[in-house]
């Protein structure tokens, strides 16, 4: 009869000193301690890290490279923080020399232990010179490898597969801010061949409000059809959009919901 040795081995490791080690990004040949990091955040990344002091004397900062596609938006969240990390200004978007671009905000009002960093690239080009940085924690140089957090990244760009102002149809775009904060959004209108026709914006769009917009009121969209992409700084899943194409001659309407990238 075969016997499993895993329970005994695990118990032996625990009894043999109980030493926890730093996460692999801190001890690798190339670490994540500066802009030379090889740890790249992409849509769906989910990792556990620690902020244990480097060499036991220097406060730890974890760096992540983050490429941003043109006309796209992203959110990075840290949560599951252990007690000594505290509600610090822990999560930031920076340049390679550490210059601050943007700081994260608390995920829940009045708390601050979990943080959300939301940013967008409205240009046509790819951004490759910005980094996400985590740390230092409140415990600073007193942090140990038990002081941990969970980091995850989502692309928040919304895709709407259809609008149609050709023939007798007119498309109305409905945008709902279901979040608790004002948001900013840029709408990119494309034809079926992928040529950008025009753009539109919602600036400081209030929480819990609904915007109804007749897309045919844009001269560039009159008499044409295509699709829409939306870059924004709302939390993932909280900006809800759909188009409604109306056919006056029959009274029919055609709804097309906006979608986020899934996991």
Task: Report which DSSP code applies to 40.
Answer: B
Question: 26 and 149: one domain?
Answer: yes
Helices (H) and strands (E) in the chain, counts: 2, 17
Last residue of a domain, one of 155, 186, 213: 155
Task: Tell me what pLDDT residue 102 has.
Answer: 97
Last residue of a domain, one of 117, 140, 155: 155
- Residue 233 domain boundaries: 158-257
Question: pLDDT category, 109, cuts 50, 70, 90?
Answer: confident
7 pLDDT exceeds 90?
no
45 pLDDT exceeds 60?
yes
Question: pLDDT category, 111, cuts 50, 70, 90?
Answer: confident
Last residue of a domain, one of 96, 127, 155: 155
Residue linked to tokens 């942090």: 143
Establish if 43 belongs to a structural domain: yes
- Model confidence pTM above 0.85: yes
Structure tokens at 90: 């822990």
* 37 or 22: which leads in pLDDT: 37
206 pLDDT exceeds 90?
yes
Residue range 63-73: mean pLDDT, rounded: 98
Q: Give the C-alpha distances (Å, rounded to integers) separating 175 from 155, 181, 213.
A: 19, 15, 8
Provide CB contacts within 8 A for 203, sequence distance 6+. Answer: 184
- Could you give the CA distance from residue 211 to residue 45 in angstroms, rounded to a whole number? 32
Provide CB contacts within 8 A for 227, sequence distance 6+. Answer: 159, 160, 161, 162, 163, 189, 190, 192
Among 16, 227, 54, which residue's Cα sits nearest to residue 135? Answer: 54
What are the tens digits of pLDDT across the range 148-159?
A: 999 999 999 999
Task: Tell me what pLDDT residue 9 has.
Answer: 36
113 pLDDT exceeds 80?
yes
Helix (H, G, I), strand (E, B) or coil at 14: helix
Residue range 24-48: mean pLDDT, rounded: 93
Task: Tell me what pLDDT residue 21 has.
Answer: 53
Question: 120 and 239: one domain?
Answer: no
CA 23 and chain centroid, separation: 23
Of 13-17, 41-45, 232-236, the one with minimum mean pLDDT is: 13-17
Q: Are 240 and 207 in contact (CB under 8 A)?
A: no
Establish if 253 belongs to a structural domain: yes
Residue range 216-232: mean pLDDT, rounded: 97
Question: 163 and 210: one domain?
Answer: yes
Question: 251 and 180: one domain?
Answer: yes
The HSE-up count of residue 132 (CA atoms within 13 Å, CB side) is 26
Question: 40 and 147: one domain?
Answer: yes
Establish if 8 belongs to a structural domain: no
Question: 68 and 132: one domain?
Answer: yes
């Amino acid at each position: 009869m075969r016997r499993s040795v895993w329970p005994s081995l695990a118990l032996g490791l625990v009894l043999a000193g109980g030493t926890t080690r730093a996460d692999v990004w801190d001890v690798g040949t190339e670490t994540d301690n500066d802009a030379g990091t090889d740890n790249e955040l992409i849509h769906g990344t989910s990792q556990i890290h620690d902020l244990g002091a480097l060499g036991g004397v220097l406060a730890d900062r974890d760096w992540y490279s983050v490429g941003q596609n043109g006309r796209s938006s992203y959110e990075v969240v840290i949560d599951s923080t252990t007690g000594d990390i505290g509600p610090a200004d822990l999560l930031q978007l920076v340049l390679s020399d550490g210059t601050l671009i943007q700081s994260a905000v608390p995920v829940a009002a009045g708390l601050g232990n979990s943080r959300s960093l939301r940013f967008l690239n409205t240009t046509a080009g790819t951004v490759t010179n910005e980094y996400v940085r985590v740390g230092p924690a409140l415990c600073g140089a007193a942090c140990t490898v038990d002081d941990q957090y969970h980091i995850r990244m989502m692309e928040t760009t919304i895709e709407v597969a259809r609008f149609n102002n050709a023939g007798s149809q007119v498309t109305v775009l409905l945008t709902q801010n279901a979040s608790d904060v004002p948001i900013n959004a840029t709408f990119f209108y494309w034809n079926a061949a992928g040529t950008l026709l025009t753009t539109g914006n919602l600036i400081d769009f209030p929480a819990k409000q609904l915007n109804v917009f007749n897309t045919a009121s844009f001269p560039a969209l009159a008499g044409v059809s295509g699709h829409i992409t939306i870059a924004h700084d709302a939390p993932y899943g909280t900006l809800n959009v759909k188009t409604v194409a109306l056919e006056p001659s029959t009274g029919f309407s055609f709804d097309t919901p906006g979608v986020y990238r899934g996991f």
